[in-house]
Structure 1
């Protein structure tokens, strides 16, 4: 089943799909759907112009969840990416699993996942160290190190699946990813930069940005082993047009990038957090942790949320800085936030979104392949601001290939397109012969294709 809410819809429309025909479910009504049935063309007329308008908001942000990795991995390999397995523990396993389950239920999830287990285990480890229970703390530390190693391996396994897939399928998957990213990033230089946020630990977005020629600006500075800097300067990229001096212009194809939960190639070394040169799709992270300057770091020092730091001050860093970037980017007037593949399972992110919607000129667009636990629709009801929320939920709407080919704006909204549109409108309105003039339906189709 699919859910759609765009433009002037007062409530989400529920419909089923059969080939190129769609049928509204009982209780759903739409003026543009004749007798409760419509085709792909009618659906595109409802969605594409609306998204094109929203994507040209003064401030635009994209929040990508694990659904993006699964979608690209499925295009490349025919199956979903590796998921997060349970953390195998023998030390205080019952207490850790109970705490993880309680935390998951408080966040609206049915069962605790590996992140919940890691968070509870790290807190328990600090408690054991405070109580000076050395042997039990040491045992738990070794189990956590092995668990982090296995978790990092599962992340790299997903990257490897894409990198080693059949060439034709791999190219198709990356081309779709590039089109997806450029639909957001193709903003004119006079507008605020696109902000990309992700909860994923893999480097799929980075790989797609490299293929697309998209420049990503993040908090890391340096070349050989970049260091995460707290003093985020609003660095940008400009160029000087030929023959013009002193008037630099914004370079197109630039976006600001934030990985809210860290990354598989972020390592804590002493007081710094560095990004190591881990190739996309590497078999293991362990060999790349043996480089000089990392101080013999192990998988326990990987900055994967929640991190493995021993003290509370370090545990909050760098994630508190990254979430502050999210709030500063989206909680602004005339701001649009688009989520793709995000299941609304992280309360700290949901809190920022809730605060964003208190500004009347903001808008939230939720795009998701499915909603198996019902968290998206539950969050939609709890937010209580339907006029500021658009929904595209279901395989007929959010399949990555279908979405990029039919519903997302084309990857270049430039002056040439608008000039061509105006020229065609002028010619259509001045043709003398009525027979030569296109029908109103044809003109509507042409105008829709030009938007």
Structure 2
């Protein structure tokens, strides 16, 4: 049976349990201050998890880091199967050398074996070496094969989008409704708090699609309407409104978040010295027709800004990714900051380094939500960081299944203010109807109402 792991609040160590339907049973002898008994269910867990997450989500700074787990979860809800994976790169020259370099890179990052990204990174470095050595024929042959590989990679991303976009109406609607609920649980912050920062390592546009359905405005580094251009200057642009009849400073507009795709996107293209975003529809059959436009006519899938990109020199190879990772560090490495990860397997050392630095600030907190940990990277990183009081864990299908997570454990900020007002109203009515001698009883009742928040 699958083991689920939970560690929240003041737990000294994680609690492991197994699930039999909606009934859960402890697997270890660990005790928690908020949960008693050997058997429990979702309702029992919700009493401890939801208030804890609600308080963390109202930190001064809140960031969400999304990995491929979100794409797989939404794709499964829509189609009943996981999203398309990344096939290995097949080359006619230097296959062995590139595979060996990819394996070494994966081992250095703490992963068991190399993936397509490791292969592309090694192949791009080799391509640059062949260009320096002026081996024109070998350079051209490898460049063409890399272009084919990048095209196949982009196609696999679009295939996953297409699977969601063309799914059965009822299942697709349920999948997107769940995604919207997930996003708005984080984005519904009060106007006095800093904006939510959303970071993702995914190349697809699933979050963008969910944000459109939710009416969530995403602020990123791209400026423009037709083919937005990536700008290095990061101004604190925001959205405000003027309340009718009120003079003074404008107020923050609700439903706005800052958005950063750390590894690029399937609709980002390098054109000359610029990086632009093209109008590629969600679930398009191919990217090629949308590159046939003035200013983009020389661009191919080889110029897609998918990390690691196919740039031919070090300066452009680091751009724009160095800017994006700087945004991550600036957002999370601040006092009173909470970072929530969902579907991220801790396989990217660049990101892990930033998280490690974040936790050196005592008032920061990391919440890890993942459906599984097959390579034990999450628990290894948790133990390696050595700051258990600053880390909460929700690992396992009983906790991190997207539907279960949104129904039971994530806060519902849209109704929190209403619940507070209801509690205050009940407090006033209760106090008004009780005699002075009965006031202590009223205090106990009020505490019970507050527990509903």
Same fold, TM exceeding 0.5? yes
Partner Cα distance (1:90, 1:232) in 2: 43
**What SS is found at the alignment partner of 1:60?**
strand
**Which structure 1 residue ranges, 5 or more long, are not aligned?**
none
* Residue 446 of structure 1, CA deviation: 4.7
Question: Equivalences for 1:297-376 in 2 at 5 Å?
Answer: 297-376=299-378
Question: Equivalences for 1:46-445 in 2 at 5 Å?
Answer: 46-412=48-414, 415-429=417-431, 431-432=433-434
* Residue 423 of structure 1, CA deviation: 1.5
Query: Structure 2 vs 1, CA of residues 412 and 16 (structure 1 numbering), >3 Å: closer, same or farther?
Result: same
8 Å CA contact 1:269, 1:295 repeated in 2: no
Write out per-residue CA displacement over residues 295-320 of structure 1, whole angstroms, 9 at most, x where no aligned residue.
42110000000010000000000000
Residue from 424, 448, 451 that aligns with 2:451: 448
* Greater mean alpha carbon deviation, residues 411-420 or residues 271-280: 411-420
* Residue 291 of structure 1, CA deviation: 1.1
**What SS is found at the alignment partner of 1:279?**
coil
8 Å CA contact 1:48, 1:408 repeated in 2: yes
8 Å CA contact 1:369, 1:398 repeated in 2: yes
**What SS is found at the alignment partner of 2:161?**
helix
* Residue 292 of structure 1, CA deviation: 1.1
Relative to the length of structure 2, the TM-score reads: 0.96
Corresponding residue number in structure 2 for 1:11: 13
Partner Cα distance (2:97, 2:243) in 1: 63
8 Å CA contact 2:430, 2:442 repeated in 1: no
Partner Cα distance (1:446, 1:178) in 2: 28
Write out per-residue CA displacement over residues 61-110 of structure 1, whole angstroms, 9 at most, x where no aligned residue.
00000000000000000000011110111110000000000100111111
**What SS is found at the alignment partner of 2:283?**
coil
Deviation beyond 6 Å, 4+ runs, structure 1: 437-445
* Residue 26 of structure 1, CA deviation: 2.5
Write out per-residue CA displacement over residues 4-56 of structure 1, whole angstroms, 9 at most, x where no aligned residue.
00011111110111122211113322344433222222110110000000000
* Residue 366 of structure 1, CA deviation: 0.2
**Which structure 2 residue ranges, 5 or more long, are not aligned?**
none
Corresponding residue number in structure 1 for 2:37: 35
Partner Cα distance (2:292, 2:317) in 1: 23
* Residue 273 of structure 1, CA deviation: 0.3
Q: Aligned pair count?
A: 449
* Residue 402 of structure 1, CA deviation: 0.4
8 Å CA contact 2:423, 2:449 repeated in 1: no
Write out per-residue CA displacement over residues 107-140 of structure 1, whole angstroms, 9 at most, x where no aligned residue.
1111100000000000000000000011011000
**What SS is found at the alignment partner of 1:116?**
helix
Partner Cα distance (1:211, 1:29) in 2: 42
* Residue 289 of structure 1, CA deviation: 1.0
